[in-house]
Structure 1
């Protein structure tokens, strides 16, 4: 079950949905969406409930606690014109066939041509962890990473909205 805190949205039909549980770029997405007059939908676990005041063009959808609950809600709600920001390869693989553009918070776009390789690498790393072998995790998200994401998102939206 999910509950939805909706605010009015104006502007283009394109929405940006954020897999909100672990996203380090929510504020950056909101900033760019404001510039482009786009609606933002943040889908997150009720465990991350906030009283933070978001602008009117931002809607929050809270889902029950549990693995992949936010992912399933995003898959259910997403429309072909939407963009999604997630670091979850599995979620990306479910969204790409729907014609959705999906971006990692690094700014890299998930593509149908490369998603299978990413999923294979994720599987291999999981197998290595089960064998108690060390697998290098992601680097810390830096201010430079944040700026790269912002630049790429702005560029891609500018191209798309022309």
Structure 2
């Protein structure tokens, strides 16, 4: 097994990405941990685990940050969680394959806070579009590249 893990913030995991993550686990012999406050319907195996946390805001996020190590990869669409992952030395990737870094996370946090302010004022901002097949391919490619990079980094 690789010296790093893939943590999945599974509370809002698009189902279309589960197979991509499981195939990556098989291909790279990578341990994957799905973390959610509900049963995510993942069949555990030697490399694939599932942790169910208590109900409540950000419980899965807290569990991931508490357990992850530097160089671990975290798949999340939660920007504050991504910021904590980066701060702890991990790599954060979103469901569309974008890698969040120290150089882009602050701008994302500011934009998120601005959108929260607009929603709080009653403005309808809409949400992200559903994950498409193209997004799935982008995520798969980005995840492969990230795993390869972490393999070289930790070798």
- Normalising by structure 2, we get a TM-score of 0.90
Task: Kindly provide the CA deviation profile for residues 46-86 of structure 1, in whole angstroms up to 9, marking residues without a partner as x.
Answer: xx215542332111111000000000001100101211000
Matched, 1:90 2:65: no
1:116-131 alignment runs, 5 A limit: 116-131=106-121
| Contact 1:86–1:105 (CA under 8 A) maintained in structure 2 | yes
Q: Which runs of 5+ in 2 are unaligned?
A: none
**Match of 2:50?**
60
Farther-moved stretch of structure 1 (76-85 vs 147-156): 147-156
Q: CA RMSD in A?
A: 1.4
1:1-162 alignment runs, 5 A limit: 11-24=1-14, 25-45=17-37, 48-50=38-40, 52-162=42-152
Task: Kindly provide the CA deviation profile for residues 72-109 of structure 1, in whole angstroms up to 9, marking residues without a partner as x.
Answer: 00110010121100000000111111110110011000
Query: 2: CA distance between counterparts of 1:98 and 1:50?
Result: 26
Q: Which one has the bigger helix percentage?
A: 2
Query: 1: CA distance between counterparts of 2:114 and 2:35?
Result: 28
| Contact 1:20–1:26 (CA under 8 A) maintained in structure 2 | no
Question: How many pairs were matched up?
Answer: 150
| Contact 2:42–2:50 (CA under 8 A) maintained in structure 1 | no
Q: Which runs of 5+ in 1 are unaligned?
A: 1-10
| Contact 1:85–1:105 (CA under 8 A) maintained in structure 2 | yes
Give the 3 Å change call, closer, same or farther, for CA 148–39 of structure 1 in structure 2.
same
